[in-house]
């Protein structure tokens, strides 16, 4: 269960490379969704300009507020803006202070442990009332591959990295299977609340209500994960969701129009957004060898072989089984738009995908884009002979290989 939890709780870019990524939404949007289902949170209001932040703070009803940069990345509190301002989460005590901090956040890039060196643009802040927690908990609803169903994961050790908690003390994690059809029963929810250490009936009831409603959102909105960290029992006896992260299944976009309308592409890598429009499975990485491969498994293996020979892939790119010459050309445009790319490795196994289609796209792209980056090509399978003849007849400087290791080694040398 622990391995499955880790995998679901923190999807890595490599592990999700062959799939479209799950939609994430901003914290202020998550808070509204929780409130729409009757789940209590601290009062919170977004602002998209410094003046809006001033107006929100002035009319909030209290001066004791927290201002949070709305950026889709973890570690905001310890992050740093590209203008030198430290921290994406601050307390404020006046409307003027809220405006001053918003001016430093909005329009700047917040750099955290999850964003890379460029950071992510902050287009909004959220102002929330300060509520003092007496104890913090962790709660998540997610898919569990081991059981083939949905589980409620909870811990009395909230407000920290839950993976570290699970590694140090697996017994601190309470896992409760949820019936997909029936949901979480009142009895089951109360039992979890009691195991977490909620003492009085009021707090147990509030926590149980939250668990039940979280699953309702999970099912209604085709979520893949809901993570509340922390859920708090406040000093005045209320159970509140203090922070929330949602993931939604991209395959459900056709029936979750309201959720997917919340997508903020400014938080995504531009080349990945462009690739998605062309139905290309593309993930930008930090290396210097552009990769164009068909099939997620072969693409991952190609990246491994390049690494084995001392190279660093600039991207994951699976053109899929239905690629056309136009799709291949678009893939090349995306790859060469990265100034770090020094060589391109094309590795195609033609099953459903025809090698001659790839060759046609490669030749077209090389000519139309005046490609000067060296190309290493390995084509095997359907229409292989025709593809190789097309490349030979093109007159372009394309380096062909049959052996994968030799091809990868050459791509690495050319990128050095």
Binding annotation: 68, 75-77, 136, 229, 243, 294, 351-353
- Per DSSP, the residues of 31-58 read HHHHHHTT-----EEEESSHHHHHHHHH
Rounded CA-CA distance 276/268 in Å is 11
Rounded CA-CA distance 148/281 in Å is 26
Peptide bond into 269 cis (omega under 30): no
**Beta strands across the sheet bearing 89-92:** 44-47, 125-129, 65-69, 89-92
Closest among 44, 126, 54 to 95, alpha carbons compared: 54
Closest among 159, 56, 133 to 101, alpha carbons compared: 56
User: What distances in angstroms separate CA 380 from CA 200, 346, 357, 386, one per listed residue?
Assistant: 67, 11, 13, 11
Rounded CA-CA distance 381/368 in Å is 27
Rounded CA-CA distance 169/162 in Å is 10
Catalytic residues: 138, 227
- Which residues line the annotated binding site for ATP? 68, 75-77, 136
DSSP 313: B
């Amino acid at each position: 269960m622990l391995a499955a939890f880790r995998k679901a709780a923190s999807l890595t870019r490599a592990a999700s490379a062959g799939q479209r990524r799950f939609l994430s939404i901003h914290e202020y949007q998550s808070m509204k969704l929780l409130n729409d289902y009757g789940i209590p949170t601290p009062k919170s209001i977004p602002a998209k300009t410094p003046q809006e932040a001033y107006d929100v703070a002035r009319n909030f009803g209290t001066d004791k507020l927290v201002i949070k940069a709305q950026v889709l990345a973890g570690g905001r509190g310890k992050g740093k803006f590209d203008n030198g301002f430290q921290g994406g989460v601050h307390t404020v005590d006046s409307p003027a202070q809220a405006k001053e901090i918003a001016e430093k956040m909005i329009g700047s890039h917040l750099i955290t442990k999850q964003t890379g060196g460029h950071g992510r643009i902050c287009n909004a802040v959220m102002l929330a009332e300060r509520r003092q927690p007496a104890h913090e908990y962790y709660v998540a609803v997610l898919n569990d591959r081991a059981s083939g169903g949905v589980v409620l994961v909870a811990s009395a050790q909230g407000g920290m990295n839950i993976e570290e908690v699970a590694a140090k003390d697996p017994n601190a994690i309470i896992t409760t299977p949820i019936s997909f059809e029936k949901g979480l029963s009142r009895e089951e929810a109360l039992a979890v609340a009691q195991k977490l250490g909620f003492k009085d009936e009021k707090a147990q009831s509030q926590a149980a209500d939250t668990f039940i409603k979280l699953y309702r959102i999970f099912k209604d909105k085709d979520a893949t994960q809901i993570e509340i960290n922390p859920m708090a029992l406040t000093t005045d006896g209320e159970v509140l969701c203090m922070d929330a992260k949602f993931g939604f299944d991209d395959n459900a976009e056709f029936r979750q129009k309201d959720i997917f309308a919340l997508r903020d592409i400014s938080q995504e890598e531009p080349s990945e957004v462009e690739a998605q429009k062309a139905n290309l499975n593309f993930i930008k990485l930090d290396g210097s060898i552009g990769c164009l491969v068909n099939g997620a498994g072969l693409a991952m293996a190609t990246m491994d072989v390049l690494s084995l020979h001392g190279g660093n892939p600039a991207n994951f790119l699976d053109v899929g089984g239905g690629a056309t010459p136009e799709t291949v050309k678009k893939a090349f445009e995306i790859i060469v738009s990265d100034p770090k790319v020094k060589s391109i490795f094309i590795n195609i196994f033609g099953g459903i995908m025809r090698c001659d289609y790839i060759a046609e796209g490669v030749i077209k792209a090389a000519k139309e884009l005046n490609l000067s980056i060296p190309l290493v090509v390995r084509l095997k399978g359907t229409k292989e002979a025709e593809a190789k003849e097309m490349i030979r007849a093109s007159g372009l400087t394309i380096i062909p290989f049959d052996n994968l290791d030799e091809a990868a080694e050459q791509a690495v040398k050319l990128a050095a």
